[in-house]
């Protein structure tokens, strides 16, 4: 009989960033430029699209995501706000109800808690409560999850928080292709979208196919990507945890273990079909996320696998690699301990495979 779902917490290891292979013909693009170009494309394409948030206009955005857009589109379409998330989120939701397509930037999603009443009760529920008469086409975007040295109040991951709520779509890009294609899809979507970025990778360059630069390129919402094919174990992650999985998979490959890495891209809706198909091939599953373990994204995936006939294809319990179940410490060494590292992924895989490889 199979044991209950188990989880493994993170321990110290080196912090990894970009490992994406660089094809000679591919162009390099930072995540920051991918987001900026997506906003520019969609504002040029649809005059109803506008941006509002703290320092998004004259300062070009706290992280320079809206760089150059105020000069190009003016005060009416790139709007600086006071430091009042509840106020400008409410204005943005009302504008969406009236037919515009606002992109509401939170300087960090930790501050979205000041506006969560509008995100949940105003944006997410209105389509249902109006019997389908009122759409709310709004994007709430900004950095999410752990950064570096910003401690407990600025480091939590909100993927599971917002994915819990019907009426929202929740996206979590990993690389430049994800960032550009998913943001364009989010802006075009008729429903409210929570768009969770990570500031640590804003300046990281990834190779992008020329098709990604096309003005009509979008990444479909609700579709995961097999970031690295494999046959022995399935690793499922989103955002920076995809990088952790790729680094872990590279180490496992040295030992003859071929790990398949799935980049979720979309947290709600979840692409369970891709996960199911992978698990039926590998017969082993490890989920990886920087968020806390209880009621997390990995916990949801575990539950859905066990509720599906895919459960009977598992040769071992599902394992979760999560952030440690504590508020984020400020000290650098403790912060590293609190986040999943590649060695944690390697350790989890070895426990799941049980010496088969």
Dihedrals φ, ψ of 102, to 5°?
Answer: -75, 145
Joined tokens for residue 155: 């480091």
Helix (H, G, I), strand (E, B) or coil at 244: helix
Task: Give the residues across from 263 on adjacent strands.
Answer: 225, 237
The conformation of residue 207, written as its DSSP 8-state character, comes to E
Q: Cα 345 to chain center, whole Å?
A: 19
Query: Would you give the end-to-end CA distance of the chain in angstroms?
Result: 22
In three state form, how does the secondary structure of 285-322 look?
Answer: EEEECCCCCCCCHHHHHHHHHHHCHHHHHCCCCCEEEE
Interacting residues of 2 by C-beta distance below 8 A, sequence separation 6+: 314, 316, 317
Q: Is the peptide bond before 269 cis (omega within 30 degrees of 0)?
A: yes
Active site residues: 85, 154
């Amino acid at each position: 009989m199979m044991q209950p779902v188990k989880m493994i917490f993170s321990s110290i290891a080196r912090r990894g960033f970009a490992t994406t292979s660089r094809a000679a013909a591919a162009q390099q693009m930072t995540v920051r430029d991918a987001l900026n170009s997506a906003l520019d494309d969609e504002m040029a394409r649809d005059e109803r699209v506008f941006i509002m948030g703290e320092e998004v206009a004259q300062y070009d955005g706290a992280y320079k995501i809206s760089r150059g857009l105020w000069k190009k589109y003016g005060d009416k379409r790139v709007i600086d706000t006071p430091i009042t998330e509840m106020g400008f989120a409410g204005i943005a939701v009302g504008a969406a109800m009236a037919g515009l397509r606002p992109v509401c930037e939170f300087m960090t999603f930790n501050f979205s808690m000041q506006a969560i009443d509008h995100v949940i009760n105003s944006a997410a529920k209105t389509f249902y409560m109006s019997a389908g008469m009122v759409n709310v086409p709004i994007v709430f975007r900004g950095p999410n999850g752990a950064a570096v040295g910003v401690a407990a109040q600025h480091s939590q991951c909100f993927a599971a928080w917002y994915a819990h709520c019907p009426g929202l779509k929740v996206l979590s890009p990993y690389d430049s292709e994800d960032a550009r294609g998913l943001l364009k899809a989010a802006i075009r979507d008729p429903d409210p979208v929570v768009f969770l970025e990570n500031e640590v990778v804003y300046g990281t360059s990834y190779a992008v196919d020329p098709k990604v630069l096309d003005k009509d390129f979008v990444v479909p919402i609700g579709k995961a990507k097999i970031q690295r094919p494999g046959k022995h174990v399935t690793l499922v992650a989103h955002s920076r945890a995809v990088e952790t999985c790729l680094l872990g998979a590279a180490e496992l490959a040295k030992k003859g273990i071929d790990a398949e890495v799935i980049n979720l891209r979309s947290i709600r809706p979840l692409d369970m079909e891709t996960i199911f198909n992978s698990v039926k091939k590998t017969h082993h599953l490890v989920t990886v996320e920087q968020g806390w373990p209880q009621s997390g994204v990995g916990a949801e995936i575990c539950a859905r696998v066990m509720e599906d006939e895919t459960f009977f294809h598992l040769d071992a319990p599902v394992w979760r690699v999560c952030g440690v179940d504590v508020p984020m410490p400020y000290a650098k060494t403790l912060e590293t301990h609190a986040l999943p590292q590649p060695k944690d992924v390697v350790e989890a895989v070895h426990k799941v495979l049980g010496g088969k490889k």
